[in-house]
Amino acid sequence: MRDSGALHCPRCGDVLAERGDGRLECLTGRMPIGEALEAQLRACYVERSRRPVDGSLQDWVGGDWFCPGCGSMLNEFTPGDLRCPVCGEGFAEFIPALSVLPHAGGSPTRT
């Protein structure tokens, strides 16, 4: 179920929390989201003012990735082409920026 205006952590699916300084952070993974990345994710998955750049990476990404818009686990049917099974949007454009951010792990707290 889509939480209007909320962004979900692409690494665990939890709703991102707003810190005191206004930046978003995944509390489960202790992973802050930078302003530029937040703006891009909002534009694609909340405001829908643009679509994520369609395409895929050269190799399998692997691991668990989640839709920033609804928190659903993404599917990777072909190498590097991650898609949300709910909204159908791609996600590959964000993998390079997110793969360098440390995420402490842990299980999602949502049900």
Q: Where are the domains of the chain?
A: 17-99
Q: Does residue 15 sit in helix, strand or coil?
A: strand
pLDDT digits (tens, 9 = 90+) for 71-99: 999 999 889 899 999 989 999 999 999 98
The structure's pTM equals: 0.85
94: how many CB neighbours lie within 10 A of its CB?
Answer: 20
AA identity, residue 10: P
Confidence of residue 64 (pLDDT cuts 50, 70, 90): very high
Write the burial class of residue 88 (CB in 10 Å: 0-12 exposed, 13-18 middle, 19+ buried). Answer: exposed
